[in-house]
Amino acid sequence: MSLPIVKVSNLDKYFGRLHVLKNIDLEVSERQVVCLIGRSGSGKSTLLRCVNFLEDPSHGVIEVDGVKVEVEKKGKERRQLIHDVRLKTGMVFQEFNLFPHMTVLENVIEGPVTVKNMDRKHAIELAELNLDSVGMLFKKDEYPMRLSGGQKQRVAIARALTMEPRVMLFDEPTSALDPELIGEVLNVMKKVANEGMTMIVVTHEMGFAREVADRVIVMSDGELIEDATPEELFSKPKDPRTKALIDRYRSGEQ
């Protein structure tokens, strides 16, 4: 197995008095697709959001592609490290969070141009490439308001990819979508995975986890309770809580 590209060690997170992440250790290798599953409130989204510091962890260490952030250290150096981590990670949100005052193309080039000072022409070339690969190039001059949820999410994926991250983080990317629009987004994610992107995906889509993930990690009450290949996990779950989760999914499927 190759070296871990994401390494989370001894991570704790408190919301006020609530202990939402309890001493988490997690390593993700390059090109791996890891799905985080668990009931709502289990801490899976919080863990994902700690990786790029959208949530401030309480203590522990986060390392992404060689950039190591010791959570407790404060100051200017830390801000720079967090910035570096964010440049190495792309994030896709449940609510898409496209910028409504910009066209699709402007949304996608915003990061490269503003953050990386990329030449605008070059950024547009790159953006068009990625919009094409998510099947949204034909809407490049539209405003987000005129897109369906599935289309918005595909643009959001292109926006994240255009920053050329090493790791993609997906935070329940299909949970805000109408059922008939989920497929198009999952297909794009599958494509991204097949192109060799390292991905951490918080999801309720067990079908996707089963089909695409290399590893499925189950979270409950702020802890990782099971970490296995999808075959193992779905055929013989070890933890009763995992079993309950899978049973619930199976009964929902019928």
Contacts of another protein in 33-72 (CB under 8 A): 52, 54
Q: Out of 159, 204, 215, 241, which residue is the one contacting another protein (CB under 8 A)?
A: 159
**From the CB of 81, what's the least distance to another protein, in Å?**
12
State which residue, 54 or 61, has the beta carbon closest to another protein: 54
Residue 16 in tokens: 């006020």
State which residue, 46 or 89, has the beta carbon closest to another protein: 89
* Region of 18-26, 39-47, 84-92, 215-223 interacting with another protein (CB under 8 A): 84-92
Using rule CB under 8 A, residue 163 touches another protein: yes
Using rule CB under 8 A, residue 18 touches another protein: no
State which residue, 11 or 161, has the beta carbon closest to another protein: 161
Q: Which residues pair with 6 in a beta bridge?
A: 28, 64
Contacts of another protein in 88-127 (CB under 8 A): 89-91, 93, 95, 97-101, 110-111, 114-116
State which residue, 85 or 224, has the beta carbon closest to another protein: 85
Distance CA 121, CA 173 (A): 30
Using rule CB under 8 A, residue 153 touches another protein: no
| Number of amino acids touching another protein (CB under 8 A) | 25
x/- map, 205-244, another protein, by CB under 8 A: ----------------------------------------
Q: Out of 8, 36, 87, 224, which residue is the one contacting another protein (CB under 8 A)?
A: 87
CB 65 within 8 A of CB 84: no
Binding footprint of another protein on the chain (CB under 8 A): 52, 54, 83, 86-87, 89-91, 93, 95, 97-101, 110-111, 114-116, 143, 145, 159-160, 163
